Amino acid sequence: MNNPSTSSGHRTWIPRIVVFQCQYSLYCEADQRWMDIQLPQHIKLIKAPCTGRIGPLFVLNAVQGGADGILISGCLPEQCHFKEGNLGARRQLDEFRRFLTYLGMEEERVRFVWIDLSERGRIQQELADLEETIGAIGPARRLATRAIPAGENL
Amino acid sequence: MNQLTFAIRQEAARILEENIVDVVIGFKAGILPLKAQPAFITRQEEAEKLMHNGFCQNNLASYLTRRPKGERVGIICRGCESRAVRALVLEHQHDRDKLYLIGVPCTGIIDWRKIEREVGENTLQAVEEGDEVIVTTRDGEHRFQRADVLHDSCQRCLHPNPVGADIVLGDPLPEGDPERAWAPVLEFEALLPEERYACFVQEAERCIRCYACREACPMCYCAECFVDYTTPRWAESMITPSGTQAWHIIRAFHQTGRCVSCGACERACPMDIKMTYLTDKLNYDMGQQYGFEVGASEEEQPPFAAFTLDDKNRFVR
């Protein structure tokens, strides 16, 4: 299943995606339930109390552990549950992505989704969009240095 | 003995005698040529040991955070050291009232590796004479132009003059050329992604995880570094590609908006690994994005500490 080659036109490789989510960013009940219960196998959800908790080390560990795509979802500036946790995170994570790009990672692999509290269904769209982008650029080769445990999806 | 050394000894003796400080941090002659040692002078008579020349490699500001709390410290500051002191004071690592900064405009640090590459390891004596460095070995005398053997970071230095010093000894020097300072970053950025990654891997894989870069850095003062954590284990602690790369990435990233570009990490590295291309990139970005420069102001917090709601129009796709 991890074979990146495409055979006879249809894709056999499924990108591994890690989603870092602020637990307050999905206000919509249905969206959150979909994330918690119905998330496809190749997407791994990691919840944090706030985007401010999602540090560069989290992202780096995901990249090194073999994630092909990383989606970081947070609240819009004025809507942070902790007033300003997301503001610090935005500056740090934006710079961290630029830094990883400087070291040779494809920029598209890390994506930010700043979700308005009223946007229903946005997260599904963004995930599908990210999967398509990652599918086009192929599996992560650079910076993915840690051995992935055999038989595990992530 | 040069004039500067004389002035430094006099000033150090004076502030110790008048009980302005408890200790003066400076340099004394090392056991080996080409290398000077940091010195901690607590008595007026000992001030005669102090000296200053291009062979003083360390960033003395890195000792500030290791001195006992409340101690009054006199410190000999070149441009980069004075900016590091400012950044440390801004981060509440030391009281500015308890510091006495003896500023010295810096003509650059001589890289002993560059000299050793030319003349081999048998250096008997090395002296500076104006714009020349004269190195005596067993095979004879070698002369170098000072500008050629300066450390890379010093060749790119933007601010050789100390900022916010209590006293400045010597004449101010012209400021550096920004074009030259950022040239390595822009050159590296112009490479293809796979070339950049290959460069990074080649540098990082030589790392032996001695953490000399961390110890030499004035801004690395955490009581417990992220690599020393065991629960959770943030990065592999062995010499594995994953571990060394994580160390180089995160060490540099923790310096974002704090690195003073002194190059002490590179000078300390026993494996001669290039590191300033990482921190310089982050400094360059901070300048471009937020107009921030380390040590430029006494009050301005680094960008990662100074976020505001004005950011709301950034980053949104």
Chain B residues with beta carbon closer than 8 angstroms to that of A98: 285
Higher pLDDT, A148 or B33: B33
Per-residue b/e over B131-156, b at no fewer than 16 CB within 10 Å?
A: eebebbbeeeebebebeebbbbbbbb
Higher pLDDT, B104 or B316: B104
Give the pLDDT band of residue A7 (cuts 50, 70, 90).
Answer: very low
Q: Which residues pair with A70 in a beta bridge?
A: A18, A110
Q: Confirm whether A127 is domain-assigned.
A: yes
Q: Using CB atoms within 10 A of its CB, is residue A13 exposed (0-12), middle (13-18) or buried (19+)?
A: middle
Q: Confirm whether A98 is domain-assigned.
A: yes
Whether A99 contacts chain B with CB within 8 A: yes
- What are the residues of chain B with a beta carbon less than 8 Å away from any beta carbon of chain A? 188-189, 193-198, 200, 226, 234-236, 240-242, 245-246, 249-250, 252-253, 256, 278, 281-282, 285-286, 289, 303-304, 307-309, 311-312, 314-317
- Cβ of A90 within 8 Å of Cβ of B311? The answer is yes
- Among A95, A142, A143, beta carbon nearest to B285: A95
Question: Cα distance from A26 to chain B (closest Cα, Å)?
Answer: 17
Q: Confirm whether A5 is domain-assigned.
A: no
Which CA distances in Å does B182 have to A57, A94, B31, B168? 27, 21, 36, 28
Q: What single-letter amino acid sits at B133? A: V
Whether A132 contacts chain B with CB within 8 A: no
Q: Using CB atoms within 10 A of its CB, is residue A89 exposed (0-12), middle (13-18) or buried (19+)?
A: buried
Extract the tokens encoding A14.
Answer: 């499924």
Give the pLDDT band of residue B238 (cuts 50, 70, 90).
Answer: confident
CA distance B281 to A21: 29
Contacts for B117 with CB less than 8 Å, ≥ 6 apart: none
Q: Confirm whether A49 is domain-assigned.
A: yes
Give the pLDDT band of residue B46 (cuts 50, 70, 90).
Answer: very high
What DSSP assignment string belongs to chain B? --HHHHHHHHHHHHHHHTTS-SEEEEEEE-SSTT-EEEEEE-SGGGGGGEE-STT--S-GGGGGGGSPTT--EEEEE-HHHHHHHHHHHHTTSS-GGGEEEEE------B-HHHHHHHH-S-EEEEEEETTEEEEEETTEEEEEEHHHHB-HHHHT-S--S-SS-SEE-S---PPP-HHHHHHHHHHHHHS-HHHHHHHHHHHHTT-----HHHHH-TT---SS-GGG--SS--S--SSSHHHHHHHHHHHHHTTTTT-----HHHHH-TT----HHHHHHHHHHHHHHH---TTS-SSPPPGGG---GGGGGSS--
CA angle, residues B87, B88, B90, in degrees to nearest 5: 65
3-state secondary structure of A51: helix
- Cβ of A61 within 8 Å of Cβ of B234? The answer is yes
Residue B189's CB: how many other CB atoms inside 10 A? Answer: 14
Q: What single-letter amino acid sits at B66? A: R
- Among A60, A84, A96, beta carbon nearest to B307: A84
Q: What is the pLDDT of residues B271-298, one digit of tens each?
A: 999 999 999 999 999 999 888 999 888 8
Q: Are B311 and A90 in contact (CB under 8 A)?
A: yes
Q: What single-letter amino acid sits at B211? A: Y
Q: Confirm whether A91 is domain-assigned.
A: yes
- Among B253, B304, B315, beta carbon nearest to A99: B253
Q: What is the pLDDT of residues B91-133, one digit of tens each?
A: 999 999 999 999 999 999 999 999 999 898 888 989 988 889 9
- Cβ of B197 within 8 Å of Cβ of A105? The answer is yes
- Among B194, B256, B307, beta carbon nearest to A104: B194
What is the per-residue pLDDT for A78? Answer: 84
- Cβ of A114 within 8 Å of Cβ of B200? The answer is no
Count interface pairs A-B at CB distance under 8 A. Answer: 94
Average pLDDT, stretch A104-115?
A: 90
- Cβ of A146 within 8 Å of Cβ of B236? The answer is yes
What is this model's ipTM? 0.90
Q: Are B157 and B176 in contact (CB under 8 A)?
A: yes
Whether A79 contacts chain B with CB within 8 A: no
Q: Confirm whether A154 is domain-assigned.
A: no
- Cβ of B311 within 8 Å of Cβ of A84? The answer is no
Strands B99-103 and B167-168: parallel
Chain A residues with beta carbon closer than 8 angstroms to that of B234: 57, 61
- The closest alpha carbon to B281, from B305, B259, B314, belongs to B259
Number of folded domains that form chain A: 1
Domain boundaries, position A64: 31-137
Whether A82 contacts chain B with CB within 8 A: no
pLDDT above 90 as % of chain B: 75
Tokens 């870069």 identify what position? B213
Question: Cα distance from B102 to chain A (closest Cα, Å)?
Answer: 35
Q: Using CB atoms within 10 A of its CB, is residue B55 exposed (0-12), middle (13-18) or buried (19+)?
A: buried
Sheet holding A110-115, edge to edge: A43-48, A17-22, A69-75, A110-115
What is the per-residue pLDDT for B222? Answer: 92
Q: What is the pLDDT of residues A18-68, one digit of tens each?
A: 999 998 888 788 888 998 998 998 999 999 999 999 999 999 999 998 899
Model confidence at A150: pLDDT above 60: no
Model confidence at B306: pLDDT above 90: no
Whether A13 contacts chain B with CB within 8 A: no
End-to-end CA distance of chain A: 12
